[in-house]
Amino acid sequence: MSTIDAYQRALALAIAHGGGEVPGVRCEDVARLAAIAARKRLAAVRATLPRMLAALGREEFDRRYRAFAAERMPCGPEGYREEAIAFARRLGGPVARREARLAAAHGPGRSFAAVRDGRRLTLLARFRNGSRLHVVQLGR
C-alpha cells in the first residue's frame, strides 16, 4: 500500500468514526470533515424519506437517525438510498414501512415504479434522465 493510499484510508476511517488522528491533518479539521459528512448523510436520508420526516418532525427524525447511524459505518453517496431504507425498516410503523417500500421500488436506474399499499396505489415517475421525481397517489 502506498503512502497516499494509507493516508486516504486513515482519513476515510477517521471521518467515518467521527474523528481521530491522521498524520499531517489537525484533529479539529478531521472532526470538521466528519461533521460535514454526517450532515450530508442526514440530508440525503431526509430527502429520501419525506413522509417519515413530516410524521416524526425534524428534531425527532434527526435524533433517531443519529442513533441509527452511530451503529453503522457510513456509506458513500451511492449507498444513501439503501441506508434510508434500512433506517425506515428499523423504525417500523406504517409510515416507515411504506416509505421503505417506496424507496426500494424506485431505484436510481428506474424511470417508473408502482407500489400498492392496501387500496392505495402510489406511482413514481421520472420523465427525463435525472429530472425531478414525480409522485402520484391513487385511492385512500
Average pLDDT, the chain: 79
Q: Could you tell me the CA-to-CA distances from 60 to 48, 72, 89 in Å, in that order?
A: 16, 19, 16
Is the confidence at residue 63, as pLDDT, over 90?
yes
- Phi (first) and psi of residue 88, to 5 degrees: -65, -40
Quickly state the pLDDT bin for 108 (edges 50, 70, 90): low
Is the confidence at residue 87, as pLDDT, over 90?
yes
> What is the three-class DSSP state of 123?
strand
Instruction: Give the model's pLDDT for residue 23.
Output: 79
pTM of the model: 0.70
| Domain locations along the chain | 3-93, 106-140
